[in-house]
């Protein structure tokens, strides 16, 4: 997305949930100049609050705290939640009830835009040999991945029924660089995530869209043409790091199931007692 807006044209008050987490901590310095007065929210206070940032403590499972956090916001970047596989109770509370509380509070408080951090694990049981677009059949690899489909569904509901603009970003692997073979396909550079967030918060007339949160990766398993059509122009190229990532891969244990499917190890292989032979015959 081109930098064609002055700060005064941008949405005024943006709330970042999950601000104390890994993605939140690395994107805060990139978001702060774009959205002055960025409001950080989490159930834990980030250690290094910067001048100009404010923190509102909110547990996503408590509707009144979530409502207080999003009050007066123009847009919300929703990163908060349980970010790996967990027990049903953990997923139900943080990602199902918590995500519902977030969308419902945002709707009641008149928030216009939500960017939802979905995950590649919503589609994890697609084989690596098959390139998929955003419209492919959902194949979650975990309760966690399933909860991300619920969040995407919430986004579609609130966008179409209540007039919100919502972008679900199926994040691959966020970080400074791709560190193994799988991540060469799914890596997302922090600046590229910020580009996608800006599309979600600022693109005029956005209703509801799903995109893959990946950089310009030569080995990609995903067709991200919808993101490109929305103005995404990723700058990260995982291939730059290919030699080191492939070398690091050699030290990792083999996982027949995890290595076959997009969701990888351990997401696809943990608790697996399905029929791998039958799954391998699928396209």
Ligand X SMILES: NC(=O)c1ccc[n+]([C@@H]2O[C@H](COP(=O)([O-])OP(=O)(O)OC[C@H]3O[C@@H](n4cnc5c(N)ncnc54)[C@H](O)[C@@H]3O)[C@@H](O)[C@H]2O)c1
Q: Which of residues 34-53 bind ligand X (CB under 6 A)?
A: 42-44
Q: How far apart are CA 187 and CA 245, in angstroms?
A: 11
Q: Which range touches ligand X (CB under 6 A), out of 3-11, 31-39, 168-176, 232-240?
A: 168-176
Residues between 227 and 266 with contacts to ligand X, criterion CB under 6 A? none
Using the rule CB under 6 A, which residue among 14, 15, 18, 193 binds ligand X?
Answer: 18
If residue 239 lies in a helix (H) or strand (E), which one and from where to where? none
Residue 229 burial (10 A CB sphere; 0-12, 13-18, 19+): exposed
Q: Output the smallest distance, CB 51 to ligand X, in A.
A: 21
Shortest Cβ distance from residue 186 to ligand X (Å)? 8
Binding-site member from 14, 35, 83, 184 for ligand X (CB under 6 A): 83
From the CB of 4, what's the least distance to ligand X, in Å?
27
Neighbouring-strand partners of residue 138: none
Sign of CA pseudo-dihedral 170, 215, 201, 208? negative
Q: What are phi and psi of 92, to 5 degrees?
A: -60, -45
Sequence-distant contacts of 49-57: CB under 8 A, at least 24 apart: 53/28, 55/19, 56/15
Size, binding site for ligand X by CB under 6 A: 24
Stretch in the footprint of ligand X (CB under 6 A) among 79-87, 105-113, 159-167, 222-230: 79-87
144 is catalytic: yes
Nearer to ligand X, 14 or 117 (CB): 117
The token pair at 184 is 């060469």
Q: How many helices (H) and strands (E) does the chain have?
A: 11, 9
The interface region with ligand X, picked from 124-132, 166-174, 239-247, 272-280 by CB under 6 A, is 166-174
DSSP 8: G
- Of the candidate spans 76-84, 127-135, 222-230, 244-252, the one that interacts with ligand X by CB under 6 A turns out to be 76-84
Secondary structure (3-state) at 17: strand
Residue that has been written with the tokens 């991200």 in this structure = 224
d(CA 211, CA 116): 11
Nearest to 152 by CA among 85, 200, 90: 200
| Catalytic member of 144, 158, 212, 260 | 144
Nearer Cβ to ligand X (61/237): 61
Nearer to ligand X, 20 or 206 (CB): 20
Residue nearest to ligand X (CB): 21
For residues 199 and 167, the answer to whether their CB atoms sit within 8 Å is yes
CA distance 254 to 261: 13
Smallest distance, Å, CB 78 to ligand X?
7
Report 104-163 residues binding ligand X (CB under 6 A).
117, 119
* Contact between 267 and ligand X per CB under 6 A: no
Binding site for ligand X (CB under 6 A): 18, 20-24, 42-44, 59-61, 79-83, 94, 98, 117, 119, 171, 173-174
Catalytically active residues, by annotation? 144
């Amino acid at each position: 997305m081109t930098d064609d807006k002055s700060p005064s044209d941008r949405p005024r008050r943006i709330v970042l949930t999950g601000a104390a987490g890994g993605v939140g901590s690395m994107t805060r310095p990139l978001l702060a100049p774009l959205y002055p007065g960025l409001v950080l929210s989490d159930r834990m206070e980030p250690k290094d609050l910067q001048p100009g940032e404010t923190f509102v403590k909110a547990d996503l499972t408590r509707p009144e705290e979530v409502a207080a956090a999003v009050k007066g916001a123009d847009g919300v970047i929703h990163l908060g939640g349980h970010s790996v596989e967990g027990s049903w109770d953990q997923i139900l509370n943080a990602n199902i009830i918590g995500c519902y509380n977030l969308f419902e509070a945002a709707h009641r408080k008149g928030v216009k835009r939500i960017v939802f951090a979905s995950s590649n694990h919503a589609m994890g049981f697609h084989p690596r040999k098959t390139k998929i677009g955003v419209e492919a059949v959902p194949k979650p690899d975990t309760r966690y991945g399933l909860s991300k489909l619920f969040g995407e569904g919430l986004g579609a509901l609130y966008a179409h029924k209540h007039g919100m603009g919502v972008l679900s970003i199926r994040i691959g692997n966020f970080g400074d660089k791709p560190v193994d073979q799988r991540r060469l396909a799914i890596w997302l550079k922090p600046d590229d995530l910020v580009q996608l967030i800006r599309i979600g918060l600022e693109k005029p007339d956005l209703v509801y869209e799903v995109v893959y949160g990946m950089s310009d990766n030569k080995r990609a398993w995903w067709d991200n043409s919808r993101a490109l059509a929305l103005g995404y122009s990723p700058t990260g190229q995982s291939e730059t790091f290919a030699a080191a990532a492939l070398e690091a891969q050699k030290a990792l244990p083999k996982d027949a199931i995890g290595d076959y499917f997009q969701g990888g190890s351990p997401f696809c292989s943990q608790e697996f007692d399905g029929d791998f032979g039958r799954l391998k015959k699928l396209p």
